[in-house]
């Protein structure tokens, strides 16, 4: 069981990654199913083999063991997990099938006649969905398949948009967690625009270690605001207005 739970744990971390999109998530699930199938055929992994040694010697690190309740059937457990993953992987949407055509790993061989026209119908549907010019995208996709170099600008937009389709709801959960950290019982007067901007920075901004506050502090002070260590609150009075007031006082005195 430990071997299976370890693979499911790694799969969960991969699906929660921000770089995991719809296509890569399907590939990760399929790869994990293949690993589980191999574990079932081999009779388990290293943890299972260690358990077999314990059952043979009836000792664990020198401590004698006694028989207890019967454990879980390893083969049936792996089969149940594989059936569940297979039901999830079989939910293939037309969008997923179109997106898979963009990846080189799914293309026919380079010397095949099918390569030149492969995936064009999917590219046309994706271009319509994303409001991109159809003919330039199709031509760029043909060039990309034949030359295998960098994609042309018309195709770059399509490939970048394809990466934005998430493979799980992990990013939504991160948004809910960030919102719960910002708005709570004693901090509930933020308006919608402020909360939206703060959440955008929290989810998409750079980390604190990479943030350089110096230019923003300079612009803050240049705008007339005071330092955080100042005893006087509020913005500084305008120097131009002070000079004008002093000139008026001198003329009046004169």
State the pLDDT at residue 241: 46
Residue that wins the pLDDT comparison between 39 and 63: 39
- Residue 243 scores a pLDDT above 60: no
CA 210 to chain centre: 20
Q: By C-alpha distance, which of 115, 125, 123, 121 is closest to 145?
A: 115
Residue that wins the pLDDT comparison between 254 and 207: 207
What Cα–Cα distance (Å) separates residue 13 from each residue in 17, 29, 100? 6, 12, 22
Could you tell me if 195 and 182 are in contact, meaning their C-beta atoms sit under 8 angstroms apart? yes
Map tokens 């949407």 to a residue.
93
- pLDDT tens, 13-29? 998 988 888 888 888 98
The pLDDT-based confidence of 66 (bands split at 50, 70, 90) is: low
State the pLDDT at residue 85: 85
Mean per-residue pLDDT of the chain: 81
Could you tell me if 170 and 15 are in contact, meaning their C-beta atoms sit under 8 angstroms apart? yes
Q: By C-alpha distance, which of 183, 181, 174 is closest to 203?
A: 174
Give this prediction's pTM. 0.65
In this structure, the number of other CB atoms found within 10 A of the CB of residue 127 comes to 22
- pLDDT tens, 196-224? 888 888 888 877 788 888 898 888 888 88
DSSP 150: S
| 228 φ, ψ (degrees, to nearest 5) | -70, -20
What Cα–Cα distance (Å) separates residue 206 from each residue in 17, 200, 203, 211, 220? 17, 11, 9, 6, 20
What count of residues does the chain have? 254
In this structure, the number of other CB atoms found within 10 A of the CB of residue 14 comes to 19
- pLDDT tens, 71-130? 677 778 888 888 888 877 766 788 889 999 998 888 888 788 888 899 999 999 999 999
């Amino acid at each position: 069981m430990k071997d299976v739970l370890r693979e499911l744990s790694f799969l969960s971390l991969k699906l929660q990654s921000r770089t995991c999109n719809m296509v890569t998530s399907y590939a990760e699930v399929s790869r994990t199913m293949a690993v589980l199938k191999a574990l079932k055929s081999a009779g388990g992994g290293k943890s299972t083999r260690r358990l077999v040694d314990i059952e043979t010697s009836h000792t664990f690190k020198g401590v004698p063991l006694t028989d207890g309740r019967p454990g879980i059937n390893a083969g049936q457990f792996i089969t149940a997990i594989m059936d569940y993953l297979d039901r999830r992987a079989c939910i293939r949407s037309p969008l997923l099938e179109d997106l898979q055509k963009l990846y080189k790993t799914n293309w026919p061989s380079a010397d095949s006649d099918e390569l030149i026209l492969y995936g064009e119908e999917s590219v046309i549907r994706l271009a319509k969905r994303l409001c991109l010019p159809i003919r330039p995208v199709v031509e760029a996709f043909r060039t990309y398949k034949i030359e295998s170099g960098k994609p042309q600008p018309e195709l770059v937009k399509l490939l970048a948009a394809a990466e934005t389709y998430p493979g799980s709801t992990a990013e939504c959960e991160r948004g809910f967690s960030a919102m719960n950290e910002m708005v709570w019982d004693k901090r509930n007067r933020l308006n919608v625009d402020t909360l939206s901007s703060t959440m955008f920075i929290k989810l998409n901004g750079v980390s604190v270690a990479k943030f350089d506050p110096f230019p923003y502090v300079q612009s803050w002070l240049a705008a007339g605001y005071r330092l955080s260590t100042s005893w006087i609150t509020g913005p500084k009075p305008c120097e131009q207005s002070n000079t004008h007031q002093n000139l008026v006082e001198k003329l009046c005195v004169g």
